[in-house]
């Protein structure tokens, strides 16, 4: 006897995407999350073209586009000088831009869609253990409840209980620097349809537009404050942006700090236990890929699970792991390279900028970067 076909642990963007896609395919699905309510902070701010493409079938792409800002350009700059201008507008997709939208909005739209399709999230409910046998999985919760499912998916983030219970390794490490992150109001030369990555001598800083006249600032710093203040962000922009006083911070709406790991699970499947999203891979936010990969995992796993439950070969689940894991490895490598280049010792930075400036004049290099950042390379 099964309580459900698929139990999804975690209702972040990866779990919600998987859940809505399964419910749409008529699969009996149960979603649980340990938080009383969904997170309401902005966190991942970029939805890329490939993610919008895979969310079309779920009818979520259209809703996201309505709520986000389209940024068709991404540039890497040293002060006011552009080293690499990346143009998404000529990419072969219906979404030739980065869509700038706070993660809380993305999660709300995914949850709305799940609810519309007849699904729900049970919360707060914390998974404590899973035990699998030949026919299914028995999941135990902190309230003593037990759920029997054919498959259990860990969409439960970086500290995944499902991954730990499955005994799946999570190789990698952590970067030394912490990142500061703030959503601010700016006066002056703030970009309206472009994401700017400043590679200043003092270190990297990203400035990106968000809906509602807000800008996202992200920067690696030696010791990030718990809640960055307006003077702290102002100093960052003066030291690393296009020139002192060119962008003036008038208000900090939300701020946070985070440490970054680079890790990929040894496999995304151990029998009837499967992984998606941050439970399977974490990496630097350089390039804004984290949440995008998780959503794309969710769509791919929904296809595989729906197929297997409809009688197709079980090997489809191995194929899911075999197809998605190398993509995470590539993203970890790309974001690692970007992060290391951006955090080079000061003495090496002028040479780096000259080399990048030369590479940035080559159209093929710019196009390759656009294809990678937009996720279209993983089609
Ligand atoms: C401050 C901050 C800033 C970030 N900024 C960026 C950024 O700029 N760009 C970017 O790409 N990414 C960023 N990220 C990362 C991004 O938020 C994640 O990649 C994304 O949330 C991953 O989605 P997910 O659904 O896989 O996991 P999560 O969003 O982590 O969701 C996991 C869910 O599982 C639940 N859960 C965990 N354990 C259990 C359990 N035992 N039982 C039940 N439920 C459980 C949690 O409550 C949570 O809701 C940021 C993250 C943080 C924290």
Is any ligand 1 atom within 6 A of the Cβ of residue 156?
Answer: yes
Nearest CA to 12 out of 109, 157, 162 is that of 157
- Nearest atom in ligand 1 to 13's CA: 25
What's the pLDDT at 357?
85
Contact (Cβ atoms closer than 8 angstroms) between residue 288 and residue 48: yes
What's the pLDDT at 342?
73
Residue with the smallest CA separation from ligand 1 atom 3 is: 43
Mean pLDDT by 10 residues, the chain (379 residues): 97 98 98 94 94 98 98 92 93 98 97 98 98 98 98 98 98 89 96 92 89 95 92 96 92 92 96 98 85 98 98 98 97 85 79 86 93 93
What's the pLDDT at 39?
87
Contact (Cβ atoms closer than 8 angstroms) between residue 301 and residue 154: no
Is any ligand 1 atom within 6 A of the Cβ of residue 288?
Answer: yes
Residue with the smallest CA separation from ligand 1 atom 27 is: 157
What's the pLDDT at 151?
98
- Most ligand 1 atoms within 8 A of CB, residue of 47, 291, 324, 338 to mutate: 291
- Most ligand 1 atoms within 8 A of CB, residue of 8, 30, 34, 283 to mutate: 34
| Cβ within 8 Å of residue 288, ≥6 positions away | 44, 45, 46, 48, 98, 373
What's the pLDDT at 109?
98
pTM for this entry = 0.96
């Amino acid at each position: 006897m099964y309580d459900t076909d698929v139990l999804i642990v975690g209702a972040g963007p990866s779990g919600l995407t998987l859940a809505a896609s399964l419910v749409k395919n008529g699969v009996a699905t149960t979603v649980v999350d340990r938080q009383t309510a969904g997170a309401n902070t902005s966190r991942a701010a970029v939805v890329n073209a490939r993610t919008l493409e895979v969310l079309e079938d779920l009818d979520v792409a259209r809703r996201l586009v309505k709520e986000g800002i389209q940024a068709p350009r991404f540039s890497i700059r040293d002060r006011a000088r552009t080293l690499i201008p990346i143009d998404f507008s000529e990419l072969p997709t219906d979404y030739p831009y980065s869509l700038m939208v706070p993660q809380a909005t993305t999660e709300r739209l995914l949850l709305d869609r799940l609810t519309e399709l007849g699904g729900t999230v049970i919360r707060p409910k914390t998974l404590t253990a899973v035990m699998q046998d030949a026919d299914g999985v028995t999941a135990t919760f902190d309230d003593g409840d037990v759920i029997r499912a054919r498959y259990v998916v860990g969409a439960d983030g970086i500290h995944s209980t499902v991954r730990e219970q499955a005994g799946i390794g999570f190789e990698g490490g952590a970067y030394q620097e912490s990142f500061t992150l703030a959503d601010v109001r700016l006066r002056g030369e703030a970009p309206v349809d472009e994401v700017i990555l400043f590679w200043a001598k003092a270190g990297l800083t990203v400035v990106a537009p968000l809906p509602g006249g807000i800008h996202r600032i992200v920067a690696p710093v030696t010791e990030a404050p718990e809640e960055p203040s307006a003077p702290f962000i102002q100093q960052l922009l003066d030291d690393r942006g296009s020139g002192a006083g060119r962008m003036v911070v008038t208000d900090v709406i939300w701020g946070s700090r985070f440490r970054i790991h680079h890790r990929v699970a040894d496999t995304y499947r151990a029998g009837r236990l499967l992984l998606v999203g941050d439970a399977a891979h974490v990496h630097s936010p350089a390039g804004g890929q984290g949440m995008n990969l998780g959503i794309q995992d969710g769509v791919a796993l929904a296809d595989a699970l729906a197929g297997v439950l409809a009688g197709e070969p079980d090997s489809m689940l191995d194929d899911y792991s075999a197809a998605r894991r190398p993509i995470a490895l590539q993203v970890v490598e790309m974001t690692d390279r970007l992060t290391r280049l951006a955090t080079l010792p000061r003495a090496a930075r002028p040479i780096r900028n000259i080399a990048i400036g030369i590479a940035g004049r080559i159209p093929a290099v710019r196009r390759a970067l656009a294809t990678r950042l937009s996720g279209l390379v993983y089609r």
